[in-house]
Amino acid sequence: MKTIIIIVYLILFFISPVRYILPVKQLRNPHYESLSSFHGDTAQYLVKNFFDEQQLYKGRKLKYFLQKLELPIARYYPFMADKSINGIRMCAGLALTFNFTAVLKYPEAISLFVYFKSNLPMDSCDKPFRNDYIKHRQTTFTGDNKRFYENEMIDSIKYHLALN
């Protein structure tokens, strides 16, 4: 009997770390619809595939989220958390803005607010944002900016639709 218990413990000891080493099975969104199926309405595309299905992105790296997008990010900016820590302003996540013209041909913009699991010091989040603005007079989400944030874990996703 002791031998069986020891064998079970050994099996659990050796098998449990393996699940952290093996790649995570790719989660597929059974409700995903391609951008083309929305006939130019990118607001509906973003809300349906990313806001409504945010449970598929929660706990995953921002890189995974970015790989699923079928349209370019027009602008981005880091946004502050509600509370500071020891007087240090904290970054809660990123606002990603997408330009589009809806089916009714009204110019609009939609922003997805991607909240991170852990807050970052706002000064470190501002640095790539400010450097990009100084270089290009705009905030593009490519290169160093993308690499800076892509390993942050997603906590939740919200959206805001702005009519011009």
pLDDT at 123: 86
- Distance between CA 80 and CA 83 in Å, rounded? 8
The DSSP element (H or E) to which 160 belongs, if any, is: strand 154-163
Exposure of 48 by Cβ count < 10 A (0-12 exposed, 13-18 middle, 19+ buried)? Answer: middle
Could you read off the pLDDT of 77-125 as tens digits, one per residue? 899 988 888 888 899 999 998 876 544 444 557 889 999 999 989 888 8
Amino acid in position 139 = T
Give the whole-angstrom CA distance, residue 58 versus residue 53: 9
Number of CB atoms found within 10 A of residue 13's CB: 9
The C-alpha R_g of the chain, in whole angstroms, comes to 20
pLDDT exceeds cutoff 60 at 17 = no
Residue 71 has pLDDT above 90, yes or no: no
Per-residue confidence band for 20, with pLDDT thresholds at 50, 70 and 90:
very low
What is the three-class DSSP state of 17?
Answer: coil
- This prediction has a pTM of 0.73
- The tally of CA atoms less than 13 A away on the side-chain side of residue 87 is 0
The ranges assigned to domains in the chain are 2-163
In the chain, % of residues over pLDDT 70: 73
Count of C-beta atoms within a 10 Å radius of residue 20: 7
In angstroms, how far is the first alpha carbon of the chain from the final one?
74
User: Which alpha helices (DSSP H) does 1-159 contain, by range?
Assistant: 2-15, 18-21, 42-46, 62-68, 122-136, 143-149
Which residue in 129, 106, 102, 123 sits closest to 47, CA to CA? 102
Nearest-angstrom CA–CA distance, 152 and 62: 6
